[in-house]
Amino acid sequence: MRLAKMAWILLVVGLGASCAASVRTGLDHVAAHKDLFQGQRVGIIANHTSYDSTGKYVVEVFRALEGVRVVTLFSPEHGLRGTEEAGRKIAHDIDPVSGLPVHSLYGGTNKPTPQMLADVDVLVFDMQDVGARFYTYLYTMSLAMEAAAENGKKFVVLDRPNPINGTQLEGPVLEPKFATFVGLYPIPVRYGLTVGELARMVNGEGWLAKGIKADLTVVPLTGWRRGMWFDATGLRFIKPSPNMPDLETATIYPGLCLLEGTNLSEGRGTPKPFCQFG
């Protein structure tokens, strides 16, 4: 009887581990889509979340592809290493690890300039989002896609899961007259899409400037189901910004971040940002 119970426990634990480890991001599937990049000069929009499921950084993954040359990086709000506080402008830099130039998309411009894209054939986006409309990584992606379209460059999104699931949509839809870099498109606060799905929506709905269409490819993630929360994916949660330390914070953020429009503190800089206010 005791052996039967032990076997059942091991079976359940094993199945749980198998299910939890089933999700793979677009970055995990880059090698299977290498034809998109071979013979091309690649620019990558990335940050500290841009790792595959084995712990390899996006630059390392692309440099392992034969016939692919990574020529530059682009960094979003919070910088390439994700250490800068919200709203702090990021300067252009050289990445000390890869030796690549890093163009800031949260400094003098939020959109790649023609000069930044001059030596790029394919522009790749790979960052973890949090599923809230006012998180700026979305607009770093869409404005880069717009720039790629305007300059005749291919644009590739390596898809990642929506950490707060893809079934629940909450909050009002943004009115166009209120569009800013913390909200550009008519989507709800909690929009229930992956970054790849959102890229397709922005491109398909004609929301890029003057209705221009990007040459867009989304490298899909696998194993993700719409009802999944991030802790069911088996992927390591890397806090996407300094005040987004865990899934609980990401879940509360779409509501509590609204306090930024008041004279109340939403707990930034404390051990529990967005989980307390006062």
Where does 105-253 show beta strands of DSSP type E?
A: 122-126, 154-158, 170-173, 188-190, 215-219
Say what the pLDDT of residue 19 is. 46
Specify if 3 maps to a domain.
no
Specify if 6 maps to a domain.
no
Q: State whether 256 and 227 are in the same domain.
A: no
- Mean pLDDT over 16-45 rounds to 88
Instruction: Quickly state the pLDDT bin for 38 (edges 50, 70, 90).
Output: very high
Least confident span in 77-81, 163-167, 183-187, 267-271? 267-271
Q: State whether 152 and 265 are in the same domain.
A: no
Q: State whether 64 and 175 are in the same domain.
A: yes
Residue-wise pLDDT for 148-182, tens only, equals: 999 999 999 999 999 999 999 999 999 999 999 99
Range of the domain at 272: 243-278
- C-alpha to C-alpha distances, 245 to 82, 95, 151, 237, nearest whole angstrom: 12, 24, 37, 9
Asked if residue 250 has pLDDT above 60, the reply is yes
How many domains is the chain partitioned into structurally? 2
Say what the pLDDT of residue 10 is. 38
Q: State whether 252 and 115 are in the same domain.
A: no
Q: State whether 266 and 156 are in the same domain.
A: no
Specify if 80 maps to a domain.
yes
Specify if 18 maps to a domain.
no
| Residue 230 contacts residue 164 (beta carbons within 8 Å) | yes
Say what the pLDDT of residue 20 is. 52
Instruction: Quickly state the pLDDT bin for 205 (edges 50, 70, 90).
Output: very high
Q: State whether 261 and 126 are in the same domain.
A: no
Say what the pLDDT of residue 233 is. 98
